[in-house]
């Protein structure tokens, strides 16, 4: 038995046999051609076929997973019409008198390497698209038919990584789980895999040995591990765990589409917390009524430069469009404390959790903050948008943000760039904010209580310290009291009050939140339906 840890991107358990998928690489040879004109028309004919194939994939994916998932194939079609890309291929055929498949392979490689070296992550992601499209053209020109990836029943597909085209070629009938050795959690393949709704692991610490093909295995995407060749005892234990998991999941799906109204007639909004677009799939899948907290700082992490306005705008716009009019609450940059990257050049601090973080940092780094606000305001034209400010402790901070937003709006107006008018909310995550919530309520359109930090600052306990994990009581009476104060003050001023910290999904408190009059709970996507059940049965 061998246990290989991996990152779960869709929870679940599957017991089956490994289907080892290895890409068939083939060499493209360089040939000197006689007639350039003939070769160019051969290229043109296969380009048209590639367009047809991609159109077919687009339609199939639309049907299977929706327009948003299928949009990747529209990007592929655009590339097949891109004059720079096409002219480079044609020029090579003309000037070097080489066969079309060779010209495509070389141009594709050059283009994808150029994209891969770019700073902008959106452009970097295009590298995989170029490889995918060029691979398709080369196969067509070489007469290699694209085959579906058929799997035997009860397969756990184990691969190094998958391109979007490969992912949609998988016949899902026999597929129980997907395990990738590489594969970024936000790659298109991962997005498509998630939409199939099967347990999925990426970045799994496993060597792809031919001897694994056909081996019994367990993809445990609850714990985040692949178990190869499990012993009898593990198999029994995991079968039971799987049975319970499936029973629970099945039961929960029956709450889809129901209104969040308690037996006592109290209505509450139930939203999802996300950190990236990939989690939006999960939010939609679990029937979240909106996004209560989009932790935008994750766009700033895991990279070497600030994300550009355009890059952020595209992400926010996609979130808003895909939520189709449902509320999307974008929290502004909450960087500092544990969330840092060298390029951010954050000051070394004795107590970073009490330091220059979140709104404090943003108000010092006006350029960075204004870039984000501009991106949010522009995206706001595409849906139902709210802005949420982290770590607010004074009315002055909120006023400063409002006036910065007004300035940006005036500028956008002058430049005739469309923008929205998002509601402005405040995170209540310090005792100070809760205690002056009566004053703050006059400055804000809504409150959202961040119980993770509220607990940390109320109990004076580092939320990151494993030694304190047992005593870090998120439902401490002092925390509940501060929640109560905030709700009352919010309501006195006529603004809604929600909870977006982890406590929101504590089912033992759902009844209490209803009694307090909390208007919104925002939880991780996979908890939405269990909280709904708790509301309806409270
Ligand atoms: C919180 O503090 O409760 C919160 C939701 O924000 P974060 O966990 O991102 O600090
Ligand atoms: Mg917080």
DSSP string, 311-341: HHHHHHHHHHHHTTTSEEEEEP---BTTB--
> Dihedral angle at the C-alpha atoms of 387, 388, 389, 391, nearest 10 degrees?
-170
Number of neighbours of residue 214 by Cβ within 10 angstroms: 13
Q: Which domain holds residue 228?
A: 2-20+148-232
CA dist., res. 137 & res. 151, Å (int): 25
> Is 451 a pocket residue for ligand 1 (Cβ < 6 Å)?
yes
Q: Which of 453, 463, 500 to mutate to test the pocket of ligand 1 (most atoms within 8 A of CB)?
A: 453
* Predicted pLDDT of residue 194: 59
Asked if residue 408 and residue 324 are part of one domain, the reply reads yes
> 491: how many CB neighbours lie within 10 A of its CB?
16
| 255 within some domain | no
* Pair (285, 155) in one structural domain: no
Atom of ligand 1 nearest to the CA of 429: 2
The rounded distance, in Å, linking the Cα atoms of 71 and 308 is 22
Query: In whole numbers, what is the pLDDT of the chain averaged over residues?
Result: 90
Q: pLDDT (tens digit, 9 = 90+) per residue, 473-495?
A: 889 999 999 999 999 999 999 99
Q: What is the mean pLDDT of residues 38-51?
A: 94
Contact 300, 213 (CB under 8 A): no
Cβ(197)–Cβ(175) below 8 Å: no
Please report whether residue 239 resides in a domain: no
Provide the number of structural domains found in the chain: 3
Structure confidence by residue, pLDDT tens digits, 371-403: 999 999 999 999 999 999 999 999 999 999 999
pLDDT over 50 (residue 418): yes
Does pLDDT of 281 surpass 90?
no
Task: Please indicate, yes or no, if residue 286 is contained in any of the structural domains.
Answer: yes
Distance CA 398, CA 482 (A): 20
CA–CA separation, 207 and 225 (whole Å): 14
As a whole number, mean pLDDT of residues 243-267 equals 93
Least confident of 36-45, 193-202, 304-313, 328-337: 193-202
Flag whether 243 is in a domain: no
Of the two residues 149 and 450, the one the predictor is more confident about is 450
pLDDT at 90 over 70: yes
Which one has a higher pLDDT value, 171 or 261? 261
> d(Cα 430, Cα 453) in Å, to the nearest integer?
7
Q: Listing from the earlier edge strand, what are the strands of the sheet with 200-202?
A: 2-5, 225-228, 216-220, 13-21, 155-159, 175-180, 200-202, 7-10
Summarize pLDDT for 288-302 with one digit per residue, the tens: 999 999 999 888 877
Q: Residue holding tokens 């509940």?
A: 480
Q: What is the CATH number of the domain that holds 516?
A: 3.20.20.60
Residue 25 placed within a domain? no
Same domain membership, residue 68 and residue 8: no
CA end-to-end span of the chain: 44
287 and 346 fall within a common domain: yes
pLDDT at 496 over 90: yes
- Could you give the residue ranges of the DSSP H alpha helices within 117-196? 121-141, 164-169, 188-196
Q: How close is the Cα of 450 to the center of ligand 2, in Å?
A: 5
Distance, CA of 43 to CA of 34 (rounded, Å): 15
- 32: β partners: 98
142, 168, 201 - which closes a domain: 142
275 lines ligand 1 (CB under 6 A): no
Query: 221 and 296: one domain?
Result: no
352 plus 440 within the same structural domain: yes
Cite the active site residues.
188, 500
When pLDDT is cut at 50, 70 and 90, the band that residue 190 belongs to is low
Atom 3 of ligand 1, nearest CA residue: 450
Same domain, 194 and 58: no
Span from the CA of 235 to the centroid of ligand 2 (angstroms):
40
pLDDT tens digits, residue range 108-139? Answer: 988 888 887 777 666 776 787 888 899 889 88
Nearest CA to ligand 1 atom 9: 295
62 and 178 fall within a common domain: no
Q: Looking at the structure, tell me whether residues 368 and 517 fall in a common domain.
A: yes
Query: pLDDT confidence of 249, banded at 50, 70, 90?
Result: confident
Residues 441, 336 within the same domain = yes
| Residue where a domain terminates, one of 232, 247, 280 | 232
Q: Say yes or no: CB of residue 131 within 6 Å of ligand 1.
A: no
Atom of ligand 1 nearest to the CA of 297: 9
Tokens 């889809």, located at residue: 256
Rounded CA-CA distance 26/143 in Å is 12
Does the structure show a pLDDT above 60 at 231?
Answer: yes
Give alpha helix (H) positions in 206-276: 232-253
- End residue of a domain, out of 169, 203, 232: 232
- Kindly state the tokens that stand for 256: 């889809």
Please indicate, yes or no, whether residues 302 and 442 belong to a single structural domain of this protein.
yes
- CA 24 to ligand 2 center in whole angstroms: 47
Pocket test of ligand 1: the residue of 330, 334, 497, 503 to mutate, having most ligand atoms within 8 Å of its CB, is 334
Does residue 247 sit within a domain? no
Rounded CA separation 366/404 (Å): 9
Task: Please indicate, yes or no, whether residues 479 and 451 belong to a single structural domain of this protein.
Answer: yes
Task: Note the pLDDT tens digit of each residue in 313-350.
Answer: 999 999 999 999 999 999 999 988 777 778 888 888 88
Would the pLDDT of 188 be above 70?
A: no
pLDDT band at 186 (very low <50, low <70, confident <90, very high): very low
Domain assignment present for residue 237? The answer is no
CATH, residue 199? 3.50.30.10
**pLDDT class of 173 with cuts at 50, 70, 90:** confident
Lowest mean pLDDT among 11-25, 206-220, 318-332: 11-25
Residues in the chain, overall count = 538
d(CA 395, CA 291): 25
Percent of the chain with pLDDT over 90: 64
């Amino acid at each position: 038995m061998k246990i290989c840890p991996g990152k779960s991107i869709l929870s679940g358990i599957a017991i089956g046999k490994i289907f080892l998928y290895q890409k068939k690489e083939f060499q493209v040879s360089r040939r000197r051609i006689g007639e350039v004109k003939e070769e160019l028309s051969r290229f043109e004919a296969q380009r048209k076929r590639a367009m047809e194939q991609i159109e077919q994939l687009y339609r199939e994916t639309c049907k299977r997973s929706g327009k948003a998932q299928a949009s990747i194939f529209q990007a592929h079609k655009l590339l097949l019409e891109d004059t720079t890309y096409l002219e480079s291929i044609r020029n090579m055929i003309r000037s070097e008198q080489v066969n079309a498949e060779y010209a495509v392979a070389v141009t594709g490689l050059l283009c994808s390497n150029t994209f891969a070296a770019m700073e902008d992550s959106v452009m970097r992601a295009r590298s995989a698209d170029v490889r995918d499209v060029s691979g398709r053209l080369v196969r067509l020109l070489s007469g290699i038919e694209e085959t579906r990836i058929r799997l035997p029943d009860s397969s756990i597909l184990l691969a190094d990584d998958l391109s979007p085209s490969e992912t949609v070629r998988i016949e899902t009938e026999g597929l129980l789980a997907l395990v990738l050795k590489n594969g970024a959690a936000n790659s298109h393949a991962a997005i498509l895999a998630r939409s199939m709704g099967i347990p999925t692991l990426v970045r799994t610490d496993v060597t792809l040995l031919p001897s694994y093909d056909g081996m019994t295995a367990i993809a445990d995407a609850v714990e985040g591990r692949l178990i190869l060749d499990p012993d009898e005892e593990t198999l029994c234990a995991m079968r039971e765990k799987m049975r319970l998991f499936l029973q629970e999941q099945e039961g929960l799906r029956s709450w889809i589409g129901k209104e969040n109204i308690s037996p006592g007639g109290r209505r509450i909004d139930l939203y999802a917390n996300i950190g990236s677009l990939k989690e939006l799939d999960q939010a939609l899948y679990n029937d979240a009524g909106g996004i209560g907290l989009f932790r935008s700082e994750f766009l700033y992490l895991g990279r070497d430069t600030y994300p550009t306005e355009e890059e952020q705008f595209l992400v926010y716009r996609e979130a808003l469009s895909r939520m189709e009019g449902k509320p999307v609450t974008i929290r502004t940059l909450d960087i500092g404390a544990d969330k840092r990257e060298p390029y951010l050049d954050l000051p070394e601090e004795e107590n970073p959790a009490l330091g220059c973080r979140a709104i404090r940092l943003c108000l010092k780094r006006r350029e960075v903050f204004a870039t984000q606000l501009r991106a949010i305001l522009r995206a706001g034209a595409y849906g139902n948008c709210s802005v949420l400010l982290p770590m607010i402790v004074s009315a002055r901070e909120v006023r400063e943000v409002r006036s910065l937003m007004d300035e940006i709006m005036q500028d956008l107006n002058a430049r005739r760039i469309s923008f929205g008018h998002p509601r402005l909310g405040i995170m209540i995550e310090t005792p100070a904010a809760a205690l002056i919530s009566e004053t703050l309520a006059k400055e804000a359109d809504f409150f959202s209580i961040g119980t993770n930090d509220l607990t940390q600052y109320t109990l004076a306990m580092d939320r990151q310290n494993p030694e304190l994990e047992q005593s870090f009581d998120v439902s401490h009476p002092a925390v509940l009291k501060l929640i109560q104060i905030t709700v009352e003050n919010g309501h006195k001023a006529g603004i809604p009050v929600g909870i977006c910290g982890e406590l929101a999904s504590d089912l033992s408190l759902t009844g209490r939140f209803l009694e307090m009059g909390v208007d919104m709970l925002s939880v991780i996507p996979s908890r939405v339906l269990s909280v709904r059940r708790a509301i309806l049965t409270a």
